Structure 1
Amino acid sequence: MDIVFLVARVLLAVIFLLSAVGHLTQSKGMAQYAASKGVPAAEAGVIASGLVFLLGGLSILLGIWTDLGALAIALTLIPVTFMMHPHWKETDAQAKQGEQIHFNKNLALIGGLLLLFYVTNQLQDIPVGITGPLFDRW
């Protein structure tokens, strides 16, 4: 079963590592889009979220304080989800549907990250990981 846990970590981490690359290499364009959504300090927010996605993604991928990486990304995604995908504000049906899909996707990712946080804190050793959990069973 360790391999299943590793594959799940890799798949989850890849989403955030690819997103981090986009945030950090295309920050100007992403910041313009975020600013159009009303995000304050959009460029700083894009870079900061990119760094969280990069460090958190590496943490999950490598199994280094996986719980911290998962929690950091989840806490970052909560405000991002509400600021960037407010489907309730859209009047165009197609735009509304697209925003709702992204909103729901982010909710699922937050749920998965919180589940990873919980599970890694229940285990003594993270399967195929470098370290154990940082918070170690609050």
Structure 2
Amino acid sequence: MDVLVLIGRILFALLFLGSGFGHLAQRKPMAEYAKFKGVPLPEIAVPASGVLLLAGALSVLLGVWADLGMLLLIVFLVPTAFLMHPFWKETDPQAKQGEMAHFNKDIGLAGAALMLFAFFAYVGTDLGLTLTGPLFSL
């Protein structure tokens, strides 16, 4: 079981590591896009969200308070779904469909992260192959 959870953590974290790195490496174009989408203070929000993504993903990947890492990813995913993918505002059917897919992806990943938060917080130190136990206990 420990190896399966480790493989799952690696696969889950890879998505967020790449995205977090992109937020930092391509700050300017991402901030311009965020500004176009109406995100407040995009010049600050983009690098801050990149740091949030990297911190959450590294926490999950390394097993250092993985429960907290999941919460950090949720803090990124839910607002991003609503701010960056408001499909209900789109009038073009193709654009609406694309935004809806991204919105649902973000909400689905937030749901998975919430379940994984509960899993790590509930199982506690019984889950091997982590550097620390959970920060929270359920």
Q: TM-score, normalised by structure 2?
A: 0.96
The letter for the 2-side match of 1:115 is M
The residue number in structure 1 matching 2:78 is 78
The residue number in structure 1 matching 2:131 is 130
Give distance in 2, aligned partners of 1:106 and 1:31.
19
Q: Within 5 A, what are the aligned runs for 1:15-26?
A: 15-26=15-26
The residue number in structure 2 matching 1:104 is 104
Give distance in 2, aligned partners of 1:50 and 1:68.
16
Give distance in 2, aligned partners of 1:12 and 1:108.
13
Stretches of structure 1 lacking an aligned partner (at least 5 in a row): none
The letter for the 2-side match of 1:36 is F
Count matched residues: 137
For the pair 1:41 / 2:41, whether they are aligned, the reply is yes
Give distance in 2, aligned partners of 1:67 and 1:124.
9
For the pair 1:95 / 2:109, whether they are aligned, the reply is no
For the pair 1:63 / 2:63, whether they are aligned, the reply is yes
Stretches of structure 2 lacking an aligned partner (at least 5 in a row): none
Give distance in 2, aligned partners of 1:127 and 1:19.
27
- Residue identity over aligned pairs, in percent, reads 51
**RMSD (CA atoms):** 0.8
